[in-house]
Amino acid sequence: MSKRETVATAISAARPALIGTSPLYAAQPAAGFPAPGDDLVERPLDLNELMVDNETATFFVRVSGESMEGAKIFDGDILVVDRSITPESGSIVVAAIYGELVVKQLRQSADRTELVSAHADYQPIDINQADDVYVWGVVTGCVRRIGKR
Partner 1 sequence: MGELVGLIDCNNFFVSCERLFRPDLQNKPVLVLSSNDGCVVARSQEVKDMSIPMGVPHFQIKDIIKDKGIAVFSGNLTLYRDISRRVFAVVAESFAKLEQYSIDEAFVILSDVTDLQQLIAQVKDNVFTQTGMPVSIGVASSKTLAKYAVDQAKQTTGCYVLTQDEWLRSAATVPLPTLWGVGRRLAEQYKTAGLFTAADLMQADQSRVAQLFGVQGTRLQAELAGEYVHLVTSKRPLQKSLMSSRSFATKTENKAILSDALAYHARHIAAQLRSMDAVAGTIRVSLQTSRHGDFLLRGGSLVTVLTEPTADTFTLISQAAQLLESLYEPAVPYQKVGVMVGEITNRLSLTTSLFPKPQTDNAALLQTIDALNKTVSGRELIVFGSRLQTKQWQSKAVARSAAYTTRWSDIARVSAS
19 near partner 1, judged by CB under 8 A: no
16 near partner 1, judged by CB under 8 A: no
Instruction: Please pick, from the candidates 48, 54, 89, 128, the single residue that binds partner 1 as defined by CB under 8 A.
Output: 54
123 near partner 1, judged by CB under 8 A: no
> Which residues, in sequence order, are CB contacts of 23 under 8 Å at separation 6+?
41
Rounded CA-CA distance 136/138 in Å is 7
> Of the listed 22, 72, 104, 148, which one is catalytic?
104
* Number of residues in the chain: 149
148 classed as catalytic: no
Binding flags for partner 1, 102-121, as an x/- string (CB under 8 A): xx-------------x----
Rounded CA-CA distance 91/82 in Å is 12
Quick one: which segment of 5-13, 31-39, 43-51, 59-67 binds partner 1 (CB under 8 A)? 59-67
Environment class of residue 22 by beta-carbon count within 10 Å: exposed (0-12), middle (13-18) or buried (19+)? exposed
C-beta of 50: minimal distance to partner 1 in Å? 18
Instruction: Please pick, from the candidates 22, 64, 89, 128, the single residue that binds partner 1 as defined by CB under 8 A.
Output: 64
What is the DSSP code (8-state) at residue 16? P
Rounded CA-CA distance 146/112 in Å is 39
What is the DSSP code (8-state) at residue 45? P
**Which residues lie near partner 1 (CB under 8 A)?**
54, 56-57, 59-68, 73, 75, 78-79, 83-84, 94, 96, 99-103, 117, 134, 136
Instruction: Give the catalytic positions in this structure.
Output: 67, 104
